[in-house]
Structure 1
């Protein structure tokens, strides 16, 4: 099976992880609040699905996604897609075949975190 799309459950896991302590969902690229209405936000696949999807089982898991503004053609998501070197330096784009849990994401506030498949952001890579 090929896909790598985030399921509705995984979408909510990512949104919950990327929501601050005051209950405000935040774009992980710029830190601005994100409206969680369809079309107002997107989830950046850190390791791209590629044309036609991905056969890698973890492509659609929470550690491979980050909440951002816009779409692939608007907002921060577009910026990430248009600036691959900067996005790679911050862990928003990672190479095919890489394990998203082992590559840190540098969030809008400068904090380096490792994302887990169960929806946590932790300071150290998993064992």
Structure 2
């Protein structure tokens, strides 16, 4: 299976309000300098599981895998995991919240919406 469908991509960008969920910067989705971060990695060669490219597992961030916030998360996996941007095996994206740039915690839903939980302390 390849990456997310264009419908899913649009859904995630709309949910995230064209904003990097790590730093809060506006993301120009026409430039290509943004990513939909897979919270739980696809693994080498991708995954046959449909949810891996679903909205609960994807989050809008600025940069590529080596630049800006996406690059930072790749270089700092423990910090990214602490905020829910990186998940381990056995963690489910629709059950593990993220802490966004504003310190709000959100549960990302499988239907492409999000549910506010609380502000982190």
TM-score relative to the length of structure 1: 0.87
Ranges in structure 1 where 5+ consecutive residues have no aligned partner? 20-24
Find the aligned partners of 2:63 and 2:90 in 1 and give their Cα distance. Answer: 26
Please name the residue that 2:75 is paired with: 82
Structure with higher strand content: 2
Q: How many residues align?
A: 117
Q: How does 1:39-78 map to 2 (within 5 A)?
A: 39-78=32-71
More displaced, 74-83 or 52-61? Answer: 52-61
Ranges in structure 2 where 5+ consecutive residues have no aligned partner? none
User: Alpha carbon RMSD of aligned pairs, Å?
Assistant: 1.2
Other structure's SS at 1:13 match: helix
Q: How does 1:1-127 map to 2 (within 5 A)?
A: 3=1, 5-19=3-17, 25-123=18-116
Find the aligned partners of 2:46 and 2:96 in 1 and give their Cα distance. Answer: 21
Shift of 1:54: 1.3
Structure 1 stretches of at least 4 aligned residues deviating more than 3 Å after TM superposition:
none
TM-score relative to the length of structure 2: 0.91
Please list the CA deviations of residues 35-67 of structure 1 after superposition, one character each: whole Å capped at 9, or x if unmatched.
011422110000000100013221010000110
